[in-house]
Structures are given as structure tokens and as C-alpha cells.
Amino acid sequence: MIRNLRELYQYRGLLLSLTQRELKARYRNSVLGFLWTFLNPTLQMVVYSLLFTVYMRQKIESYTYFVFVGLLPWIWFSTSLLAGASSISDRRDLLTKVRFPAQVLPATIIATNLINYLLSLPLMVLLGVFQGRYPTWHIVAFPVVLLTQLCVTMALVYLVSALNVTFRDLQQIIGNLLTMWFFVTPVFYMANTIPPEFHTLLVLGNPMAVMTTSYQAIFYEHRLPDPGPLALWMAISLVLLWVATNIFERRREEFAEFV
């Protein structure tokens, strides 16, 4: 794992350039440019707001803001995982033609989506301000949550990107899994509405539930996130990352032959 990360640092120039290019490619040739990134969660949020404040009344104050707080990191996670799955298997041109550090490819996807997330944060804060929810000093905990999510995402993306080289149907499976995962993650409802008998399983067993509740704690409830679940998943994600990078490293030499 250390070697993998060190190499990633060593190739930071490449990572940086590829990420830059991904971002530029996304915003070039479109009038709205960056707004497109924001439009997507906004539309989703409008749908959920309509659904849960008009049709099925949820008693959550500033509901649109609440949804946004959880939805943005979820989009970072889900798009990374979905695009990351094919990040190795789609880059035949690079892997078979030049000596190329393969781990840069999934990392680029994660970095690009992370930057998208960070760029949409000011807009989220602005929305909160409109609804009377000013950011408080609790945002000091934000980097910790962000880092934990980064570790979880990296571990999973490394794992699926390596496996997808051999098992090409994995990316389809992941697409479906993510839809299910989204609904068991408390993004558009509050975690305390989950029946207590499933609470432990659904909240502690789901890293993204831990992340969203932590983000909601910081930005919505204005308190520090529960350190227990966060520490638990930090530890799990480190172990997972270690396993994932090992698997990735072991399979890496085969990438050029299999893609």
C-alpha cells in the first residue's frame, strides 16, 4: 500500500495533468460549463424535494439544503465507483502502448470527482445561507470526514477497477448495486427514521451512511460528527485499502495483457 501511494505521489505530475484534462474536457464545449456539474444534483434534489415535501410530507426543516448536504458527497462516491470500474479496462490505448503507472487511472477518476464535489461546496453553503443555516466552527471536522470517504472510495475503486479487467460484467453489476445502495443511505431521509432494530446494521455497516450522517451533522445539525462510527470506518477503510492495493498490485502486471 505504501509503495502504491508513494508511486502515486511520484507520478503526481501525471495525475495532475490527467485530472486537469478530465475537468477541462468536462467543461469545454458547453455554454454553462461548470454549472452542468451543479445542475445534475440540483435536478435530483428538486425531484426529492418535490417528492418528500409535497407528496410524502417529511418533517425536515430546510429540506432542500438537507438533501444537498448528503447528495453531493454521494455523487462523488457513486460516480467515482461507476467510472472507476472501467478506468483500467477502457484505457487499452495507454496501457498497451506505453509504460504507464496503472494506479494513476482510478486515482484520476476519484480526484476529478473530488474536485467537482469541492467546487460545488460553496454553492451548497450559499443555499444553506439562503435557508438561514450559516456554517459554524464545526466544519473543522469536515476534512476528517472527507479523508475517511476518500480512503473508502479509493479502496473500493482500486478493487473494482482491477477486477473489472478480468470480469467485464462487474461494471454493470455495480451500476445496479449503486442504485440500491443509494436508497439504503440516509440522503433524502434522516438516519433516525430507520427502525432501531436495523439501525446498527444499516448505519454502521454502510460506510456511506456514516459519511452522510457525518456531513449532515457538520453542515445541517451544526454539531461534531459521532467519532465512533467514523473511526471505525477509517480503520476498516485502511485495512480495505491495504487489501485492495495488494490485489491491484498483484493483478497490475496482467492489465496490459488482458485489457
Partner 1 sequence: MTIAIASPDAIVIRNVVKRFKKNTIRREYTTLKSEIVRWLRGKRDADGKSMIEALRGVDLVVPRGKTVGVIGRNGSGKSTLLKLITGIYSPTSGTIDIHGRISALLDLGAGFHPDFSGRENILINGIILGMSRTEIRDRMDEIIAFSELGEFIDEPVRTYSSGMYMRLAFSVATHVDPDILIIDEILAVGDEHFGKKSLAKMTEFKRAGKTIVIVTHDLGTLERWCDLGAWIDAGRIREFGPPAEVIRSYRRAVALAEQQGMVMDAPALAPGGGALPSLVPPARPALSLGLDSVLLTRRDGTAVESVDTEDGLELRVAFTAREAVADLGFGVELKRADGTVAYRTNTFVEGVPLNVEAAGSGTVRLLIDRLGLTAGAYSFSVTVCGKEGRKLETSESTCSFQVRSGVADEGVTRPPHRWVVEGAGARVSPVRTVGA
Q: Return residues touching partner 1 (CB under 8 A).
A: 13-14, 17-18, 21, 24-25, 28-29, 93-100, 166-170, 173, 253, 256-258
Cα 106 to Cα 84: distance, rounded to the nearest angstrom: 5
Gap between the Cα atoms of 138 and 225, Å rounded: 9
Q: For partner 1, which is the closer residue by CB, 28 or 57? A: 28
Shortest Å, Cβ 81 to partner 1: 17
Nearer to partner 1, 91 or 133 (CB): 91
Q: How many CB atoms lie within 10 A of CB 227?
A: 12
Transcribe 174-241 into DSSP letters: HHHHHHHHHHHS-SSS-GGGS-HHHHIIIIIS-HHHHHHHHHHHHHTS-SPPPHHHHHHHHHHHHHHH
Closest CA to 11 of 83, 90, 99: 99
* Least spacing, CB of residue 255 vs partner 1, in Å: 9
Shortest Å distance, C-beta 226 to partner 1: 36
- Taking the C-alpha atoms of residue 151 and residue 49, their distance in angstroms, rounded to an integer, is 31
**Cβ–Cβ under 8 Å, residues 145 and 211:** yes
Q: Cα separation of 90 and 105, whole Å? A: 10
Q: How far is the CB of 38 from partner 1 (least distance, A)?
A: 22
Nearer to partner 1, 168 or 223 (CB): 168
| Closest to partner 1 by CB, 14 or 191 | 14
Minimum CB separation from partner 1 for residue 177, in Å? 13
Nearer to partner 1, 149 or 164 (CB): 164
Q: For residue 100, what is the DSSP state?
A: -
Task: Report d(CA 118, CA 146) in Å as an integer.
Answer: 10
Measured from the CB atom, the residue of 25 and 140 that comes closer to partner 1 is 25
Shortest distance (Å) from residue 256 CB to partner 1: 5
